[in-house]
Chains A and B, each alone.
Chain A
Amino acid sequence: MVFSSLIFITIFLPLCLGAYFVIPALLRLPDESTLKLKNVILLIFSLVFYAFGGVYYIALLLFVVLINFVGGHVIGNSGDSAGYRKAALVLTVSADILVLFFFKYFNLLIALIENMFFSGEGSFFTRLFMAEGNGALGFEKIVLPIGISFYIFQALSYVVDVYLGNAAVQKNFFRFALYISFFPQLIAGPIVKYKDIEEQIGCRTVNTDLFSDGVIRFCRGLGKKVIIANTLGEMVDSVWAVDVSTIGAATAWFTAICYSFQIYYDFSGYSDMAIGMGKMFGFEFKENFNIPYASSSVREFWRRWHISLSSWFRDYVYIPLGGSRKSKAATYRNIFIVFLLTGIWHGANQTFLIWGLVYGVLLILERAFLGKLLESSPLKYISRLTTFTVVTILWVIFRADDISLAFSFIASMFRSGSGDYGLLSFLSLKVIITFIFAFVFSGFFKLKKGSEKEETKAEYKVIDYVTALVLLVISTILLTNGTYNPFIYFQF
């Protein structure tokens, strides 16, 4: 199940909100019991939510919950025995990484072995960068369970924080299970660190302020995803469906920029919905995006884009490796490692690896000398434009199915040629209007960068309410239209 679906908006969410607020109110239990009941309700709904994506994957989720709950328990209750604590940490972390590796990277590993050792076609480099194997080893493809990258990282953050003493052991299995499986952030983040939510699981309230803010946030996120991201995505997909080496520069650039907006509105839209729903249930999650396209440098970009992931890598990889406290060489090495892992985390394809590595190199260059140049430049829009351009080109690598297609597309972006009518073939009135909105609200033109979280003044709040409801209605209409699926008896 996804948030931007009719079954979620019209069935699951109403039932969940109803159960969460109405059942405890009817039972009139004491506060502590009410909270326990509410947590159980959320846990049940979270497991049902996950089951929609594949009922058998519930077993995997519960397995991850179990090993980390037990791991955290052993770590937290090993007293002064540093050896035991470390062993428990290593075992738990290894188990988590093994599970993630198996489901996410096993197919790519098999493909690499098949292409390198069982295929005579193409050069070494061609075979190295092919994402699909030839089936020589006869393995069935492993299906990636939805959300695994997110909840494994959440589990890892728990055991490491317990080990470091940054968080207390969660003795209640159901509360821990709720932390790992809570449906608003289960499949697409934000990656919530246990220490940030520990208190809220055991103690939280919802008032009309928080609930209404949550609804506004949810509706905005839904609108971002359904109205902007899906519309631009349709256009982007239609361009990528053709031979990208034949498209003109105008088409290539416009498509690349559309994809930059698509991925931003899609991902930040999802995060908005997650944060919004969290608020409806009394949780305050940290922000995950902060107008990233207003960044004046790549370094700033990664402070504003997918903040929960970059802060996770900062806290659990960069800082333990020494961060920037040691030599310059060590700092550069640490940056490189973090972005290598960031790339790999995003997917099992050489494109993600290269995407991450290029960012690592750029960040090193910015740290070395480029950063000061960009951030102190008085021509702020030039820096923003440069950063946006670099980010957009790198999104092309991220989007491509394989690296050769990515290079083909990038080559099209820089191919000279006049009178490129090709773009007109892919545009429509709908795409043009959506693009304008996407550009205006991307934050690129913001004079003061501020924050996505800015609160509207009370006297203008009614605009927020009306906008939210209009976005909800339009999104629902578009989702309904999206269910149109004619069957033509073509097979003759």
Chain B
Amino acid sequence: MKIGKKIFITSFIILICVPQIVWALLYLTSRDLYESLNAGPDEKRNAQALVFDDIGDVGNVLSAYVDDHAPFRGALITLCQKIETGSENIYIDAVSALTGSGSDSQMSVDLDALDALGGTGTSSGSEDAGGTQAQADLDYKLVETVFPTCTEEGYERYVCDETGDSYVTPIPANGHDGTLIEVSESSYTTWGYEKYECSVCGRIYYENIVPKLVDTSYLAPRTSGGSTIFGRFDWLFFMGNDSLSYYKGTNLLSEEELADYAARVQRLQELCDERGIELYFMFIPNKEQVYSEYMPSYEVETEHKRVEVLTDYLRENTDATVLYPLAELRAGDFYHQTYSRYDTHWNLWGGFIGVQLLYNAMGRETIDIADAAEMAYPFPSERNDLILLGGLDATTFPEDTDYLVDYKPEVLFFLDSYDPVAHFTSTSENEEYFVLVGDSFLEMLRPYITRDYMHTLYLRRTNEYACREDILNADILVVETVERYDGQVYESMEALIDILENGDP
């Protein structure tokens, strides 16, 4: 047994000493092997360096340094994440089998929400727009015929030679002569529709649209890393920044808080009006609201939640233009998903819808949403902050797709300064100065807006004072926020009001 003891003690010493020595030797002699064994998920930060701000910090810095440079760290973290994700999947399958499936119902969505942008491109009917009336007992002659198209009505104009009186008889639009090119059945992850292509005008349109089905079976809420919620069909959601309270509707603002918020918005609106600045507010829904059908089974207290109540209140009690495109983003999913599956953010298709709704509110020309959907090209999405936050293995998740609309490719733009204050110049001829104050959700608006203005500025909140001159000189000022940061907008407005009140006349 003595030899056994000695082997045991030696093994113990080896296990606590040798890995560090081997790791250090690998680093010095075989960097490639070191890097491959250290390859793990991208933590988007630098490893702790041996930098001491004060003597009291030495212990923490040394501990963090050792943690970040642990032997085979990357490989071990990757291994643990694979095991974690694998065991999670086993558990979810077992629980699903245990709790069974509920009845299916359809997703609740307003199919007309995008009508202002062209809607779902359904064949526009031959709506009778009416015409002018002929007077009795007069002799009219046909002088002009405008033939109808698939979507626009034509007319025949008759004139009386004697009196000069005229009347118009509308000719109904022909409607599309569509060829069925695709049929989709409604499921939990796909809409149902019939897709047609008009043989006359070439337009793509849809009929018999059926929203996605909703899996109403109980799905136990499961989280990882304190931030990531496992949703249905591999969708991930965020629970940080109190997002669940926004989702459940348990954090409504009081009347006093709403009035206070509105007072601030109104003051900012008045200051902008005095300076001739067009002001717009855009509250972007949390992903959990738009894709609520994929959330696990939380108890939702009310469907009329905090930011929806707030934006309704602001529209009713202030002169401000306030956007909260929840219905539009849910409807926009018909064409392509509007948020990233594994990220907290909306994607470039969702951002495009946001831009078009903003332009619609501004009275600017917009692109038909159905046409834009056809122009959107898919590419593999790399956005996955929820996988990183959850400490999950990205390789076990199916690929996600983003959709970039090929918007005004003839316009070039150039980055003059980087985030958190990003200034762009483009070859657009519109010289209005567009300034947007917001958060990371602005990144998905940027590829489009930047092409419509010669000068655009995107500043992250808390940088308002650094951009005082830009704000004072703006022609258009957009205050953007994701839903869960509505409180930060309240603070940001204080800075904007201060700048506008004390700026140059």
Would B5 and A6 count as touching, CB distance under 8 A?
Answer: no
* CB <8 Å contact, B460 and A10: no
Smallest CB-CB separation from B60: which chain A residue? Answer: A52
Interface 1/0 per residue, B4-16 and A, CB below 8 Å: 1111110111011
Q: Are A485 and B73 in contact (CB under 8 A)?
A: no
Contact partner of B1 (CB less than 8 A), chosen from A238, A458, A468, A484, is A458
> Once the chains are docked, how many angstroms separate the CA of A148 from the CA of B115?
69
A6→B12 contact, CB < 8 A: no
Tell me the bound Cα distance from A91 to B71 in angstroms: 51
Determine the chain A residues whose CB is within 8 A of the CB of B385 once the complex forms. Answer: 488, 490
B410 at the A interface (CB under 8 A): no
Contacts of A472 in B (CB 8 A): 12, 15-16
Contact of A212 among B5, B72, B223 (CB under 8 A): B5
Q: Does B368 contact A (CB under 8 A)?
A: no
Does A13 count as interface, using CB distance less than 8 angstroms? yes
Chain B residue contacts of A5, Cβ below 8 A: 63, 67
- Would you call B364 an interface residue if the criterion is a C-beta within 8 Å of the partner chain's C-beta atoms? no
- Answer yes or no: A477 CB below 8 A from chain B CBs: yes
Say if the beta carbon of B43 comes within 8 Å of chain A.
Answer: yes
8 Å CB contact of A484 from B98, B220, B391, B440: B391
CA distance A75 to B138 in the complex (A): 132
> What are 29 A-B interface contacts by the 8 Å CB criterion?
A7-B62, A10-B19, A10-B70, A11-B66, A14-B16, A52-B63, A55-B56, A208-B2, A208-B9, A215-B9, A215-B12, A428-B87, A429-B88, A461-B4, A468-B8, A469-B8, A469-B12, A476-B15, A478-B80, A480-B72, A483-B70, A484-B77, A484-B391, A486-B41, A486-B45, A488-B44, A490-B385, A492-B441, A492-B461
Kindly state whether residue A424 has any CB partner on chain B within 8 Å. yes
Which residue of chain A is the closest to B94 with respect to CB atoms? A429
Interface range, A side: 35 or more
Bound Cα distance from A15 to B77, whole angstroms: 26
- CB-defined contacts of B66 to chain A, threshold 8 Å: 6-7, 10-11
Asked whether B5 lies within 8 Å of A51 as measured between CB atoms, the reply is no
**B84:A430 contact, CB within 8 angstroms:** yes
Complex interface: chain A residues within 8 A of B240 (CB): 490
Whether a CB of chain A sits under 8 angstroms from the CB of B266 is no
Contact flags (1/0) for A163-187 with B, using CB distance below 8 Å?
A: 0000000000000000000000000
Asked if B77 contacts A485 (CB within 8 A), the reply is: no
Q: Is B55 an interface residue (CB 8 A)?
A: yes
Return A217 CB to nearest CB of chain B, in Å. Answer: 12
Residues of B within 8 A of A (CB): 1-2, 4-9, 11-13, 15-17, 19-20, 40-45, 55-56, 58-59, 62-63, 66-68, 70-73, 76-77, 79-81, 84, 87-88, 90-91, 95, 98-99, 218, 220-223, 226, 240-241, 296-297, 385, 388-389, 391, 438-442, 460-461, 482, 485
Contact among A54, A212, A215, A219 for B59, CB-based, below 8 A: A54
Contact residues in A for B56 (Cβ distance below 8 Å): 54-56
- Those of A441-492 within 8 Å (CB) of chain B: 458, 461-462, 465, 468-469, 472-473, 476-478, 480-481, 483-492
Chain B residue nearest to A422 in the complex (CB): B220
Q: Are B44 and A486 neighbours in the complex by a CB distance under 8 Å? A: yes
CA gap between A385 and B376 in the complex, in Å: 65
Identity of the chain A residue whose Cβ is nearest the Cβ of B58 in the assembled complex: A55
Q: Answer whether A215 and B8 are a contact pair too, CB < 8 Å, given A483-B68, A483-B70.
A: yes
How many angstroms from the CA of A425 to the CA of B296 in the assembled complex?
10
> CB-CB < 8 A to A468: which residues of B?
8, 12
State the main secondary structure of chain A at its contact with B: helix
With beta carbons under 8 angstroms apart, the residue of B62, B388, B439 that contacts A488 is: B388
In the complex, A80 has a CB within 8 A of chain B: no
A209 interface hit (Cβ, 8 Å): yes
Chain B CB within 8 A of A9 CB: yes
**Nearest Cβ in chain A — how far from B75, in angstroms?**
9
From residue B20, how far is it (CB to closest CB) to chain A in Å? Answer: 5
- Which chain A positions have C-beta within 8 A of B81? 481
List chain A residues, Cβ under 8 A from B79: 477
B388 touches A486 (CB 8 A): yes
Inside 8 A of B226's CB, which chain A residues have their CB? 238
What separation, in Å, do the CA atoms of A144 and B338 have in the docked complex? 50
- Docked complex Cα distance between A468 and B8 (Å): 9
Q: Is the CB of A6 within 8 A of B70?
A: yes
Known: A1-B63, A421-B220, A486-B44. A480 touches B77 (CB 8 A): yes
CB neighbours (8 Å) of B223 from chain A are: 238
**Cβ-defined contact, B4 with A465, below 8 A:** yes
Q: Are A6 and B17 in contact (CB under 8 A)?
A: no
In the complex, which residues 208-252 of chain A have their Cβ closer than 8 Å to any Cβ of chain B? 208-209, 211-212, 215, 219, 238
With contact pairs A469-B8, A487-B44 given, residues A477 and B76 touching in the complex (Cβ less than 8 Å): yes
In contact, B59 and A55 (Cβ under 8 angstroms): yes
Chain A residues near B4 (CB, 8 Å)?
Answer: 461-462, 465
Asked if A70 CB lies within 8 Å of chain B CBs, one says no
Choose one: A55, A421, A462; the contact of B99 (CB below 8 Å). Answer: A421
How long is the Cα–Cα vector from A17 to B13 in the complex, in angstroms?
9
Q: Contact check, B73 vs A483: say whether CB atoms are below 8 A apart.
A: yes
Interface code A328-357, partner B: CB below 8 Å = 1, 0 otherwise? 000000000000000000000000000000
Q: Which residue of A lies closest to B20 (CB)?
A: A10
- A residues 1-41 with Cβ under 8 Å of B? 1, 5-7, 9-11, 13-14, 17
A479 CB, nearest partner CB in chain B, Å: 8
Other than the given A10-B71, A54-B59, 12 more pairs (CB < 8 A) read A7-B66, A13-B16, A55-B58, A56-B56, A208-B9, A212-B9, A424-B95, A458-B1, A478-B80, A480-B70, A480-B71, A492-B438
Asked whether A428 and B59 contact (CB < 8 A) given A483-B67, A491-B460, the answer is no
Residues of A within 8 A of B62 (CB): 7, 52
CB distance from B386 to the nearest CB of A (A): 9
- Distance in angstroms from B442 CB to nearest chain A CB is 8
CB-based contact B88/A428 at 8 Å: yes
User: With contacts A6-B70, A492-B460 known, is A211 near B9, CB below 8 A?
Assistant: yes
Does chain B have a CB within 8 A of A427? Answer: yes
A53 proximal to B (CB < 8 A): yes
Q: Which residue of A lies closest to B65 (CB)?
A: A7
- CA gap between A472 and B91 in the complex, in Å: 27
Cα distance, A461 to B1, chains bound together (Å) = 8
Scan A54-93; emit 1 where CB is below 8 A from any B CB, else 0.
1110000000000000000000000000000000000000
Bound complex: CA A430 to CA B349 (Å): 38
CA separation between A332 and B167, bound complex, in Å? 109
- Please, which residues of chain A bring their CB within 8 A of the CB of B440? 489-490, 492
CA distance A48 to B249 in the complex (A): 51
